[in-house]
Structures are given as structure tokens and as C-alpha cells.
Chain A
Amino acid sequence: MKRANQFGLPTRICIALVLSLWMFVCLYPFAVVLGGSFTAESEIRRGISVIPREFSTASYELLFATPRRVIRAYQVTIFVTVVGTVLSVLVNAMMAYAISRPNCRYRYQLGFFAYFTLLFSGGMVAWYIVMVNFLGLRNTIWAMIVPYLANAWFLLILRAYFQSIPNDFAESARMDGAGEMRIFLQIFLPLSIPAIAAITLFTAMRYWNDWWLGIMLIDDTDLQPLQLMLRSVMSRVQFLASDMGRRASDLGITVPTRGLRFATTIVTIGPIVFLYPFLQKYFIKGLTIGGIKG
């Protein structure tokens, strides 16, 4: 039945070619940076390619010669991601559960209270002043966690999911004397694992990839997350080129400045690309839970 219902072979081959071309567009930049990171500095100037013209690990050696910075950035990012994700999912899920209950009289008002934050914002400047002056978050690790904890979007997706669970579950548990917190933790959370998993993944990605909070509120290089370390490698590269680089070139050594940039990029995205095949499935599922409705 399916056989007839498709394009002829030539058309399908064309479609496959177009899709492969877009796949190439998606993957090629990664491949070329990977190639560049393993290219000798003297060759980079002549152009980088997927297969290094002259293989060299000098960029990685330089990067890990002083590994403190990289390790520190990883620590910061991992801490922010783990703590932020756990707290954020808990905070959002709790309120989502509460306002999904039909016996909660002010559920619509509270829902709107959250929703309003999506509609209107005081803008970047006022936000910055509140964060710095009022909350004193500048140059603390919490600056990269607190602002993203409550998220109306995730909250409303979770609420919709909780609402789709029959209220009878809650009713019968209540008959047996379970409190709301217990119903939430022991009945609704386990029943909502697909939604919770998706929101957890979204939140974790948001924290892992974030550099906006860092760029606004962190000056201390010791608190720099991975993404910002990558960005500051640019200026560090210039420093190397100017100072150490000059001394090195006196000694006849080429400092891999551009190569260092590529190597740092690879080190930054390494874990993501490694975990990607496992995460992707949940991500797609999650998008189809929340995305369509919004």
C-alpha cells in the first residue's frame, strides 16, 4: 500500500541529495574546526581543511600546558548546570502542579502571573541594576543560576502535562490521607517522567550553553563558564601572540594562536557532541510534548 504512494526513484534520489547537502552544511563547520585544531600553526595560515595538511597536536599541548583555566571553567559550568537544573525543574514543577489542581482557587491568577513574564519585560538595563544593586549577584556563582530558575514557559508546559493526568489519581490518594506534597512527589512526578525529562534536558542545555549571564554579571576569570572561556581565548590568543609569542618567535618557535582557538572550541563542545546521540531522542520527544501546543 505504501509502495505506490511515493515519488519515483529519480525524484527520491534528488530529495536524498538535497537532504545530504543540508546535512553537509550542518556538519562541515564542525569537521573543519576539528581539522584545524590538529593542523600545525605554520600551515593554518595557508588555509584549514577537514584533513590537516600537516598533523600536529601542538594546539592541544599548549591548551593543556596550563590546564587550570580549562578545568576551572568546566567546574563552573558543571556546577551551574547541575545545581541550576535540579533547582529549576523542582521550582517550576511545584508551582505547575499547584496551579494544575482544580481545587486551587487562584490557579488562573497564578498562571497569568507567570505568563505575564513572557509578555512584558523591564528590559536589559533595569534587569541588570536589580541583579547587581538589589540582589548583589555580581561575581558570584549564583548570578549564573538564579535568573533562569523560574521559567514561565517550562512551567506552563508542565502544568498542561499535569492537567492531562486524570484527577482521580489525586482524589484516591487524598482519600487514603496523602498530602499534596506527597501526591506531587509520589504520583504526579513519576507519571510525568516524559515531560520532566524533556524539561530537564531543555533546562540543562540552557545552563550549559549560557554565557549571557556570565557576560553581564561575571568579571572574575575564576568564575568564567566554559562558553566565556572560549570567548576570552580570543584576547588571550592576542596576548600570547604579542608577548609570549614574540619571545617564542625569537627562539624560533611558532605559538599556535589560531590553533589554540580551534582546540578550545573542540574541548568546549566535546561532551555535548559525545552525549548528543543519547540526548537527541529525548529532545525530539520533548519538543513534540511542549512545542506544538505553544
Chain B
Amino acid sequence: MKRKHRSYTPAAPLEAPAHKLGAVGRVVSGVIGELVKNRTLYMMCIPAIVLFILVNYLPLFGLILPFKDFSFAEGIVGSPWAEPLFANFEYFFRSGVAWRVTRNTFLYNLAFIVIGTIVAVSLAIMLNEMKTKVFVKITQASFLLPFFISWIVGGMLLRALLAYDYGVFNQVLARFGHNPLDWYGTPEAWPAILVVADSWREGGYRTVLYLAALAGIDPQLYEVAEMDGASRWRQIRSITVPLLTPTISILALLEVGRIMNADFGKFYALVGENSRIFPTADVIDTYVFRTLRNVGDIGMAAAPAMYQSVIGFVLVMLVNWYMRRKFPQGSLF
């Protein structure tokens, strides 16, 4: 038994001869043999596996929560079923909130993807044209700075710009002879505010990714184009953009897979509990959070959460399937 099974030569699964075991026995002994043989490797996985089970897999049982009349005392399994079974979903869809938060979540994420990509790709291409090293370094560092702070701080910074009395925007309006605007009470302004805020914080990060892709383009292509008399604009249109397209599609598709998952931090820190702008700034995640923390009704909060999980899962699977077909080398799995 002191044998060391660490070499690559496939060792006999277990001591018992295989032909004496049934089919099931063979499989079991094979599994055990592998677990024993590479026990150090499997032991190294245990902490992560336990944590994944506790934090990510156990909550999957919560998928029955929307169908339950949940109480903390009785737990997930012990609580009685909701009467009628779809009561929580009915409430969610009848209240009119469902449409509002679904539309907002979808449209905001779409805007973040489209405008965020345009901003980042343009910034990356422009940075790539700058040959002064110091300038490139300073600008790139500035672009990335907002990514290093939390959305809570971002919300504070935004307030400094938008506040009614001391905010910078209203000072500018006053200078041009306009009345101050109550930004935190103007729903119409928020789609633009949130899209700019998104690009402000994440733009630098996306730009780094596109710059890396730009650095991978063969400089000879430009030299050849140059010899053929192509202008720089022409080179960007016919070389840079086409070669950047796979990276753009991959990054955008990854985000499309998560289009129903709003970034809770972004919306909660910038919008918070300000119900005056909910019509244009409330998303599924903030709605679930408020129902959970303020209303305290588990079932009512779980229904939209499950609705979001299921749609999210379908979208991720679709995107993965599409990506595997289109970019066989690029997908994670």
C-alpha cells in the first residue's frame, strides 16, 4: 500500500481485480482509485468546492422560494406553498412594475454596451495615434482612475455635479441665465446621466482591452497600405476597425449574455431610494433589493429574482452557443 501513484503510467484502479466486480463496482472502484491516486490534487480543490457549494449552489434551492409562503422560522423547505401557487408572480406582473423594471434593465444595459463600446473603441484608436509617450501614459491613467473607486464614491461625486444648490451643473446653468434644475427630480435626465456615468467609470477599463487588441495588429499591414497610398483614415477604416471587430464582438456578446442583470451597485449608489426618478431609473436588481429589505416579503422579492435568473441563464446559454460557433478559440469552455 506504500506505493506512490504519482507517475503518468495509469495505475490499476484498486487492488481488487476488475473482472470480479460488477459494472457499477468497476466505476466506483475507478472513481475511488482516481481520488486516492491524486488525493493531494483533489484535496487542494476542497476549500473552493465547499465555498462554491455554500455560496453558489445552496441558494439554487431558493428557486422554489417564489412558490412558497416563506417564514424564517420554518425555513425554505418547511414553509407552506403559496396560495395560489403563482401568487407572487401574479403580484409582480399585475403591479405594472414588471414591465417598467424589465424595460429599464434591458434598455440601460443595451445603451451601456453600444455607447460604452463606441466610446472605448474611439478612445483606444485615438490613443493609438498619439506618439508622445508621456501624454499617452497620463491620459490612460486618468481614464482608468474612476474604475478604481466604488460606485458609492461615484454617487458622491455625481451629487457634487448635480446637487440643486451647490452643484456644478446648476452653476453653469445660472451663468447662462437659466433657472437651476432639480436633477434628482427629473426622470427624463437620468438615461443620459446613467449612460455617461457608466462610460465615465468603465470606459478606461474597456479602453485598455481594446488597446491590447490594437497592439496585436501586425504593423506590416499599415506599411503595405502606406505604400499603396492609403491615407491614415483609410487605414483605420480598412485595417484597424475590421481587425478589431472580433474583440468588439466577443466583449459585447459577453455583456449581452448579462443584459438582464443590472449592475446593482451602479444603480443603487447613483439612484438609491429616490422614488421620483424610478420611472426611468429603477431596474430589476434594485426593485428586488427594496422588496427584500424594505418590504421584507421574501416571496414577493424572490419572484422577480427568479424571473431574472431564468432569463439570464437562457441568454447566457444562447450567447455561449453562438460564440462557440463563431469564435471557437475565444470561448471559455
Contacts and interface: CB of A to CB of B under 8 A. Distances in A.
Judge: A and B partners, yes or no: yes
Interface of A: 1-2, 4-7, 11-12, 15-16, 18-20, 22-23, 25-27, 29-30, 32-33, 36, 44-49, 90-92, 94-95, 97-99, 101, 103-106, 110-115, 117-130, 133-135, 146-147, 149-150, 152, 155-156, 171, 174, 179-181, 184, 205, 209-212, 215, 227-228, 230-231, 258, 261-262, 265, 268-269, 272-273, 276-277, 279-280, 283-284, 287-288, 291-294
Contact of A147 (B48, B55, B288): B55
Most buried by A among B49, B149, B301, B320: B149
25 contacts: A2-B131, A7-B129, A20-B139, A26-B203, A45-B165, A94-B48, A103-B41, A104-B38, A104-B41, A117-B56, A119-B320, A121-B56, A123-B309, A124-B301, A126-B62, A146-B51, A149-B55, A150-B56, A180-B6, A212-B265, A227-B153, A265-B153, A276-B148, A291-B212, A293-B332
Contact of A26 (B38, B56, B200, B222): B200
Given A98-B42, A121-B59, A287-B208, A156 B332 contact: yes
B333 interface: yes
Given A23-B143, A127-B62, A103 B45 contact: no
Interface stretch (B19-27, B105-113, B156-164): B156-164
Contact of A46 (B143, B166, B264): B166
Contacts of B157: 29-30, 32-33, 265
A204 B13 CA distance: 43
A212 B292 CA distance: 14
Provide the main secondary structure of the chain A interface.
helix
Contact of B160 (A11, A32, A268, A273): A32
B144 A29 contact: no
A277 B7 CA distance: 47
Contact of A269 (B41, B49, B149, B203): B149
A186 to B, nearest CB: 14
Which residue, B34, B49, B142, B167, has most C-beta atoms of chain A within 10 A?
B142
A123 B305 contact: yes
Contacts of B312: 120-121
Contacts of A230: 152-153, 156
Contact of A29 (B158, B165, B166, B285): B158
A26 B41 contact: no
Shortest Cβ-Cβ A-B pairs, 4 listed? A126-B62, A122-B59, A123-B305, A150-B51
Given A1-B223, A98-B44, A265-B156, A36 B305 contact: no
Contact of A119 (B75, B203, B317): B317
B209 interface: yes
A48 to B, nearest CB: 5
Contacts of A283: 144, 148
Interface string B291-310: 01000001001100110110
Range for the number of chain B residues in contact with chain A: 35 or more
B116 interface: no
Contacts of B254: 294
Given A269-B149, A276-B145, A287 B166 contact: no
A23 B142 contact: yes
B248 interface: no
Contacts of A97: 44
Contacts of B200: 25-26, 29
A261 B156 contact: yes
Which of A5, A119, A130 is the most central at the interface, judged by chain B CB atoms within 10 Å of its CB? A130
Contacts of A123: 59, 62-63, 288, 302, 305-306, 308-309
Interface of B: 6-8, 34, 38, 40-42, 44-45, 47-49, 51-52, 54-63, 65, 70, 72, 75-76, 123, 126-127, 129-131, 135, 138-146, 148-150, 152-153, 156-161, 165-168, 170-171, 174, 200, 203-205, 208-209, 212-213, 222-223, 226, 232, 235, 247, 254, 264-265, 268-269, 285, 288-289, 292, 298, 301-302, 305-306, 308-309, 312-313, 316-317, 320, 330, 332-333
A114 B247 CA distance: 25
A6 B131 contact: yes
A119 B313 CA distance: 6
A179 B264 CA distance: 44
A19 B126 contact: yes
A205 B165 CA distance: 34
Contact of A120 (B60, B145, B149, B158): B60
A188 to B, nearest CB: 11
Nearest to A18: B126
Contacts of B145: 26-27, 30, 273, 276
Given A5-B222, A292-B212, A211 B55 contact: no
A287 B232 contact: no
B61 A122 contact: yes
A220 B61 CA distance: 29
A48 B168 contact: yes
A4 B226 contact: yes
A176 to B, nearest CB: 11
Given A19-B130, A125-B298, A205 B153 contact: no
B333 A115 contact: yes
A277 B268 CA distance: 29
A259 to B, nearest CB: 10
